[in-house]
Structure 1
């Protein structure tokens, strides 16, 4: 059980670090330039490398080991973020330099996220905990990271400024490294015999040839296209009325709802069919975001959306883990994640331009409509997602690795 706690704790710290960075950097750019469009482009600078590194990092996960790559990625992310306040206090920061450092930090985040997700079946088996529960707990810890992040970001921005706030994220990344190093057992590395790029292609081809995995990737891509800009929209709205507290409150309620929803789903996941939970989660999330423009208190709507959306990622994660051979797990997770993340820069950039000429209300309506569109596509493409046995990765009847792929973990 210590391995599960350690992995999920590292996940929460890393997510919180990234979330604080995601708030502090747009605030820094808006503070210095007054341009929401430029802030959107800076966020896109982070999402573009994140998508590419997640795709190509999957093969490294399978070659080097999930635990090792998770540790290395968090160390490199910490160093990239630390460079921002260091350079600001020495040679000074301009927009181009911020963009380069943001892109460099994002380059390491993708493989780290994929490696931690790929470790979940390992620690679930090691601790004899149902895989559905580990994934739900993972979502709860990610929600906790996002819960802590807005409040900390708003507090430190008010006290020390956006640049110095980035030191908080450096500490969180190194905390994640320590937890992973001390608590997560070493996993078995699956050395790919092929050339590196052929290994990357093998994972992507596997996803594309499996209808359910392909559908999950494309549905996630559609959802991220519309949802990725939400922090930019909320930041612009909060700054336009001079209230960092509004941003912190709404983002906090998103996280509170997500934590509650993930805990509840973890308790009932094995008792309910996945497809209705997934589709209703998307529909309620879309309707709730559209209502942000209605005058209903945003904090209440944010909590509702958080609860409704909480099962979406655990369902997708278990589906991928069940239907993927262990030797391909890193590459498959990386491929599907990159399909989702590649849409992020497009959505963020377009939303930044939209905010230059229109208010946040229209942006909320468009984002909510995008969630409803993702629900419609999922209803068509994800019909066969209930637990099945005899699959190449996880036997869902036992939440354990199939006999053909089961290999022991070795503790450090």
Structure 2
């Protein structure tokens, strides 16, 4: 596959990057907050812990289907339009919780239906904004590596502050009032995206109807990225969802579990900053350091000894993750033709949604047969296989290879200068 990196800097609209970052921040913050607010509201209205689990499980399968269908819609409806529609849909689904509670009273059925509705919009919205990154970088006159690192930092901050602030608000406000605030976050994200200036159009080649799976199958680089991202999710998910909770439950210290998860979020933000600094010198260096830090972090977590070593390992794991995630987004933007980028990212996001529960399920099965410490060693061994492939894959060398000097800027067309809206793919 030939490189299809976006055109070099064609503008310097100062609003492009701040509006994009604001849209990402509002959307990610709202998603992180509703992850705390919704279970709390379910417990308050039903008094059943099992119902909260049912709502979360019911949204799982539709989210995978939404990722696949959303990727198709991004390419056909348009990146900006799909991002706005998804955020409006998410805001409506969340606000409907408050409306139904006021008018008829929330029941188990309503929680399931509205939980599924929210899941149908969240992933397509994320996919749509990810596909816009190349055009945002070109519009704002910033390097793609820089924009990717800023987005990763916002991601870490949202999931650090979102649950914490939601918890504080739940302590002083009625849960329904907090629901309105989270709905407002999605609405604000839609407004920011609507106002976002963008150069260029995502116009397909005539008669092109290639799907995401065919695009990935035809590219050694994308196949390698798929294996690494899927393997990473399978390995890391059980560490966060099973091993750490089990370790701190044995210590009877749930508060320390919260601090440990905060350490991961802080590490992710620091990793994003580290990538921005390191990638200016060498993307390969950032990649190798990121893989090395993830390996070191998992090894420290696997010790499962007290708080400080495990928390340090979680923080190091977060730094490594924060350095690697931007590389994947940059690779997608540079290597995947824009008119199929939604389908490819939709496929990757769908598989990530499958990988996490798969890893958790396998780890849970393993824990029925071996002690917690042995399971942690097995997880590190599995990650070592992923890390070895990451560092030795010939295809990945293409992703992190030194880049040619950026060509001289080109003048935008009148259509580009006006920030034309997306054209639907045919």
Q: TM-score range by the shorter chain?
A: 0.7 to 0.9
Sort the Cα spacing of 1:411 and 1:137 in 2 relative to 1 into closer, same or farther, 3 A: same
The counterpart of 2:212, out of the listed 199, 203, 211, is 203
1:24-43 alignment runs, 5 A limit: 24-27=37-40, 32-35=47-50, 42-43=55-56
For 1:227, the equivalent position in structure 2 comes to 236
Sort the Cα spacing of 1:363 and 1:93 in 2 relative to 1 into closer, same or farther, 3 A: farther
Following TM superposition, by how much is the alpha carbon of 1:103 offset from its aligned partner in structure 2, in angstroms?
2.2
* Corresponding position: 1:270 with 2:283: no
Sort the Cα spacing of 1:50 and 1:99 in 2 relative to 1 into closer, same or farther, 3 A: same
Q: Secondary structure, in 3 states, of the residue corresponding to 1:294?
A: coil
For 2:11, the equivalent position in structure 1 comes to none
The counterpart of 1:252, out of the listed 262, 269, 282, is 262
The runs of 5 or more residues in structure 2 that have no matched partner are 1-13, 421-426
The runs of 5 or more residues in structure 1 that have no matched partner are 390-394
1:169-318 alignment runs, 5 A limit: 169-185=182-198, 188-190=201-203, 199=209, 202-228=211-237, 232-233=241-242, 246=256, 248-272=258-282, 273=284, 274-291=286-303, 293-297=304-308, 299-318=311-330
Query: If the length of structure 2 is used for normalisation, what is the TM-score?
Result: 0.78
The counterpart of 1:344, out of the listed 356, 365, 368, is 356
Contact 2:35 2:163 in 1 (8 A): no
Deviations 1:60-119 (A, max 9, x none): 212222111111111101111222333344444444543332222111111111111111
Instruction: Count how many residue pairs are aligned between Structure 1 and Structure 2.
Output: 397
The counterpart of 2:149, out of the listed 132, 136, 139, is 136
The counterpart of 1:85, out of the listed 74, 98, 106, is 98
- CA distance in 2 between counterparts of 1:238 and 1:98 reads 31
Deviations 1:175-232 (A, max 9, x none): 21122222333651426866xxx94x52220112211211211221222234346665
- CA distance in 2 between counterparts of 1:90 and 1:236 reads 41
Sort the Cα spacing of 1:44 and 1:360 in 2 relative to 1 into closer, same or farther, 3 A: farther
For 1:151, the equivalent position in structure 2 comes to 164
Q: Secondary structure, in 3 states, of the residue corresponding to 2:132?
A: helix
* Corresponding position: 1:411 with 2:419: yes
Of residues 53-62 and 67-76 in structure 1, the stretch that sits farther from structure 2 once superposed is: 53-62
Query: If the length of structure 1 is used for normalisation, what is the TM-score?
Result: 0.81
Following TM superposition, by how much is the alpha carbon of 1:411 offset from its aligned partner in structure 2, in angstroms?
2.2
Sort the Cα spacing of 1:388 and 1:166 in 2 relative to 1 into closer, same or farther, 3 A: same
Following TM superposition, by how much is the alpha carbon of 1:300 offset from its aligned partner in structure 2, in angstroms?
3.9
Contact 2:293 2:316 in 1 (8 A): no
Of residues 105-114 and 352-361 in structure 1, the stretch that sits farther from structure 2 once superposed is: 352-361
Contact 1:286 1:370 in 2 (8 A): no
Of residues 277-286 and 57-66 in structure 1, the stretch that sits farther from structure 2 once superposed is: 277-286
- CA distance in 1 between counterparts of 2:329 and 2:195 reads 25
Q: Secondary structure, in 3 states, of the residue corresponding to 1:384?
A: helix
- CA distance in 1 between counterparts of 2:269 and 2:250 reads 29
- CA distance in 2 between counterparts of 1:355 and 1:81 reads 36
Task: Please give the root-mean-square deviation of Cα atoms over the aligned residues, in Å.
Answer: 3.8
Following TM superposition, by how much is the alpha carbon of 1:276 offset from its aligned partner in structure 2, in angstroms?
1.3
The counterpart of 2:86, out of the listed 73, 82, 96, is 73
Following TM superposition, by how much is the alpha carbon of 1:349 offset from its aligned partner in structure 2, in angstroms?
5.9
Contact 1:64 1:191 in 2 (8 A): no
Contact 1:148 1:252 in 2 (8 A): no
For 1:101, the equivalent position in structure 2 comes to 114
Contact 1:14 1:74 in 2 (8 A): yes
- CA distance in 2 between counterparts of 1:55 and 1:402 reads 35
Following TM superposition, by how much is the alpha carbon of 1:337 offset from its aligned partner in structure 2, in angstroms?
2.2
Sort the Cα spacing of 1:61 and 1:249 in 2 relative to 1 into closer, same or farther, 3 A: same
Contact 1:131 1:318 in 2 (8 A): yes
